[in-house]
């Protein structure tokens, strides 16, 4: 039975796509026109980019013609034999954060930012060694994605994000029909713990209704340090902080006594306890407990002291004000400064076919300052995950074990809540250097992987392990349980 999300929002959309597909099939568009559309999006070479032998494309796909809503994408063909590689979509979370700024430029894309130089460097552990790699800035208001209807920003939430992302994929595959037959996977991190399963569900349900032309060959999804369940995510966050000597016994006991994360709302006592809890993250990086914070050269003041713990949106975003706090993290804690400068350069935007009308009234940022109210966010993704497990999708969840924001403790509590049968319990997995890369649990229908010494953005901290992880996932192979 279709979920309420499909029934209330997507059936009209699906009907439109079905009719449109029939029209496309009957009119038999000339392939040369499609090739011309692709060529218009071709990125020849970015400023400061190293030479590569694979193609890249970037530009806009309209998701709502009447409102003027368009989402920005950046696509990289696989480094070798793209015609035989799967198609992998990457989504960053927030909500309101850019998959271009984080995923593409600081984590797993082929070109990474460098300090003190306008030159990009090639990422030897880029994920387009494993797949054709697609990054999407979603929803509108994030990065270069935009709407010409200002009231759209006030309607943003999980539902519209999934709807527009699905529309994007249908239209993108019409522009790049050579990838329609490829196995398709979705990946992401953080609040993409909502985005990824929700989009997967929409595709899963729509595939039962749409015509063959708009069928998406979805095989599964993989998400890291994923926000999946309000209660267990928040409980695990506090437990992890105490267990890793971040907070005192007193603060821990105050939170445990006054906060009930399984119910709506909060109390003054809980808010006060949480203020004490968060105060430590003025001085260390919540997203990577054991790496340095970014220090400004001008006044030697840390970024956290300057911006405190900055939320993506006002308190209306969530029933818990502190849910959405985020800061960039990584081996170079200042890397987001470099990409912020880079993507606001006019020559870079021209090369990417971004902001082509020059009408976006705000600068490009990692996390949107324009998004305020977030309309809807279910408290748990577990019902969707159960449904998609039953539907036969391949689902992996991974967790960098030095992340304090959505820590491994929280994800373990969440997966326990699913109640799945364990097929293979806590087992080490090994890297190419005969070192333990982390541990795995194989459940009936889901695989959980921990990644040693990785923060919130796993590919940033341990890029070789991350590439090994995604290669095994896409090949449907278990990670090696013995040194090799």
- Which residues participate in catalysis according to the annotation? 190, 403, 456
Closest Cα to residue 104, out of 85, 128, 140, 87?
128
Cα–Cα dist 266/482, whole Å: 47
Please list the residues that pair with 442 across neighbouring strands: 424, 447
Q: What is the DSSP letter of 213?
A: G
Q: What CA–CA distances, in Å, run from 425 to 19, 91, 228, 428? A: 48, 29, 21, 10
Q: What is the DSSP string of 414-474?
A: HHHHHTPPEEEEEEEEE-TTS-EEEEEEEETTEEEEEETT--SSHHHH-HHHHHHHHHHHH
Q: What's 51's DSSP letter?
A: P
Q: 251: which residues sit within 8 A by CB, 6+ positions away?
A: 273, 276, 277
CB atoms within 10 A of CB 352: 21
Helices (H), 310-462: 335-343, 346-352, 382-390, 408-418, 458-461
User: 302 near 285, Cβ under 8 Å?
Assistant: no
Instruction: Summarize the chain as % helix, strand, coil (round to 5).
Output: 40, 20, 40
Q: Alpha-carbon distance 372 to 312, whole Å? A: 8
Give, in order, the Cα–Cα distances in Å from 448 to each of 127, 195, 241, 386, 388. 20, 19, 21, 15, 16
Cα–Cα–Cα angle for 45, 47, 53, rounded to 5 degrees: 30
Q: Are 191 and 93 in contact, with CB atoms under 8 Å apart? A: yes
Q: Which run of H or of E encompasses 449?
A: strand 446-451
Cα gap 387→4, rounded to integer Å:
13
**Beta strands per DSSP E along 200-241:** 218-224
* Residues linked to residue 121 through DSSP beta bridges, in sequence order: 112
* Helix segments in 375-450, DSSP class H: 382-390, 408-418
- How far lies 245's CA from each of 280, 310, 404, in Å? 11, 23, 11
């Amino acid at each position: 039975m279709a979920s309420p999300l499909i029934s209330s929002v997507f059936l009209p959309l699906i009907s439109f796509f079905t009719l449109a597909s029939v029209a496309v099939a009957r009119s038999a568009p000339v392939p040369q026109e499609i090739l011309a559309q692709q060529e218009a999006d071709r990125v020849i070479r970015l400023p400061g980019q190293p030479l590569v032998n694979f193609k890249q494309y970037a530009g806009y796909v309209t998701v709502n013609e009447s409102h003027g809503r368009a989402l920005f994408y950046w696509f990289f063909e696989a480094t070798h034999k793209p015609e035989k590689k799967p198609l992998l979509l990457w989504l960053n979370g927030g909500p309101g954060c850019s998959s271009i700024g984080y995923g593409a430029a600081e984590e797993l894309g082929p070109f990474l930012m460098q300090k003190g130089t306008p030159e990009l460097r090639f990422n030897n552990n880029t994920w387009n060694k494993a797949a054709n790699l697609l990054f999407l800035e979603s929803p509108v208001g994030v990065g270069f994605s935009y709407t010409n209807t200002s009231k759209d920003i006030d309607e943003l939430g999980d539902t519209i994000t999934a709807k527009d992302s699905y529309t994007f994929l249908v239209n993108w595959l019409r522009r790049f029909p050579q990838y329609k037959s490829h196995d398709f996977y979705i990946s992401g991190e953080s609040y993409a713990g909502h985005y990824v399963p929700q989009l997967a569900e929409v595709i899963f349900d729509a595939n039962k209704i749409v015509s063959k032309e708009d069928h998406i060959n979805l095989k599964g999804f993989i998400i890291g340090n994923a926000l999946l369940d309000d209660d267990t995510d928040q409980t695990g966050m506090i437990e992890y902080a105490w267990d890793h000597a971040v907070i005192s016994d007193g603060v821990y006991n105050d939170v445990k006594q006054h906060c009930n994360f399984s119910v709506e709302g909060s109390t003054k006592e809980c808010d006060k306890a949480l203020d004490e809890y968060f105060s430590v993250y003025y001085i260390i990086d919540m997203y990577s407990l054991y790496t340095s914070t970014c220090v400004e050269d001008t006044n030697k003041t840390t970024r956290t002291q300057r911006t405190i713990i900055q939320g993506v949106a006002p308190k209306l975003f969530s029933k818990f004000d502190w849910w959405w706090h985020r800061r960039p993290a990584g081996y170079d804690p200042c890397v987001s400064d470099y990409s912020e400068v880079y993507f606001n350069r006019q020559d870079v935007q021209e090369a990417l076919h971004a902001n082509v009308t020059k009408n976006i009234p705000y600068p490009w940022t990692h996390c949107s300052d324009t998004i305020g109210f977030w309309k809807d966010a279910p408290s748990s993704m577990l019902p969707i995950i159960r449904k998609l497990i039953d539907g036969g999708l391949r689902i992996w969840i991974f967790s960098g074990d030095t992340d304090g924001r959505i820590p491994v403790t929280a994800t373990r509590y969440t997966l326990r809540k699913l109640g799945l049968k364990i097929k293979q319990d806590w087992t080490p997995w090994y890297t190419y250097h005969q070192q333990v890369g982390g541990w795995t649990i194989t459940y009936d229908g889901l695989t959980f992987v921990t990644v040693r010494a990785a923060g919130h953005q796993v590919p940033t901290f341990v890029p070789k392990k991350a590439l090994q992880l995604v290669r095994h996932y896409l090949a449907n192979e278990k990670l090696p349980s013995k040194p090799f």
